[in-house]
Amino acid sequence: MQRGSGGDFQGSHSAVQGEGLNMNATRQTILVVDDQPGTRRLVAYSLQKAGYRVVTAVNGKDALERCCGFRPDLILCDIMMPEMNGLEFREKLLAHETLRNVPFVFLSARAQTDEVLAARKLDPMGYITKPVEPAKIVETVKRCLE
């Protein structure tokens, strides 16, 4: 599996940058995309505590702009978001030569069959239903980056 450079991105939504990181961790960078501030904070905090760098975005459009500045090691992305939803964002990534192989995991409050089927057609490495459990997020990220 291809992995990114793991570089930092200094953007307005990259509030969690590395303070208090477990220095034995791999320091890989995870892009967390969700329009709900509480979910973004919970996921970012859980991943930071596990030793990852975290960059956040509020929707697919914001995330796509952030990906122009760096290549994340993994993307965790909500599906239902304004401006550009997670399915549209994933489609854009798949069309992008340098980003199509970034491991991608969907997060969604909706576990309806149509949504799951649409998401699976876009070849994600995982699909996590909300409410998110911090341990499950960290476990999924570790598994996808192995």
Domains of the chain: 29-145 (3.40.50.2300)
What 8-state DSSP symbol labels residue 18? S
- Cα separation, 78 vs 108, in Å, equals 5
Is-cis flag, bond preceding 131, omega within 30? yes
Say what the pLDDT of residue 13 is. Answer: 42
Give the torsion sign (CA, 144, 146, 142, 53). Answer: negative
Q: Is the pTM of this model over 0.75?
A: yes
The residue among 103, 15, 89 whose CA lies nearest residue 53 is 15
Cα-trace Rg, the chain = 14
Q: Write down the pLDDT at residue 16.
A: 39
Q: What is the pLDDT of residue 19?
A: 37
Interval 100-117 mean pLDDT = 85
pLDDT > 70 fraction of the chain, expressed in percent and rounded: 82
Q: Distance between CA 50 and CA 91 in Å, rounded?
A: 29
